[in-house]
Amino acid sequence: MADDSSGGDGLRARLAKTSEDALGKLAQDLLENSLVNGALTRAFEAREKAAQAQEVAMGALNLPSAADIERLTRRVRSVSQRLEGIEDGVDRLDQRLAGVDRAAGLEERLDGIEEQLRAIAAVLATLSEQTAQAAEPPAKPRSNARKRAAGATPE
């Protein structure tokens, strides 16, 4: 049974090779034939002229051709890529500005802390003055009688 399947594969391969060779020879003969070659040339020229006529007709009707649509598609893709780049740049700028806003909030907090420190310094200065005054011995007031006695000379 294994011999039958391998024999079938061999026969199939020989037939495929033979038919490929036959088709290749037929195609070569047709291309070498000037009548067939001329007909193919004229057919391709007619196809090209028909495509040009179609483009002219579509242009007259103000309709885009396939080439126009392809060119437009490439441009749209290019603009889309550029726009994505711009969006990325805007996102980075937004993040930087958010950082600056946080720093501005920090600045306000520091200003508040400085104001509180000034108030504490003023309170400390007042307390320091009061403490210094309390530490000084009070000046003894002289009574008027003593002043008179000291100032009067015996007569």
**CA-based angle 44:49:50, to the nearest 5?**
95
Express as a percent the part of the chain with pLDDT over 90. 38
pTM, two decimals, is 0.38
Does residue 89 register a pLDDT over 60? Answer: yes
Q: Ramachandran region of residue 62, left (φ > 0), alpha (ψ -120 to 50) or beta?
A: left
Over residues 124-146, the pLDDT tens digits come to 999 988 888 887 766 666 655 55
Does residue 84 register a pLDDT over 90? Answer: yes
Question: In which band, very low, low, confident or very high, does the pLDDT at 66 lie, cut at 50, 70 and 90?
Answer: confident
Over residues 45-60, the pLDDT tens digits come to 999 999 889 888 888 9
Does residue 27 register a pLDDT over 80? Answer: yes
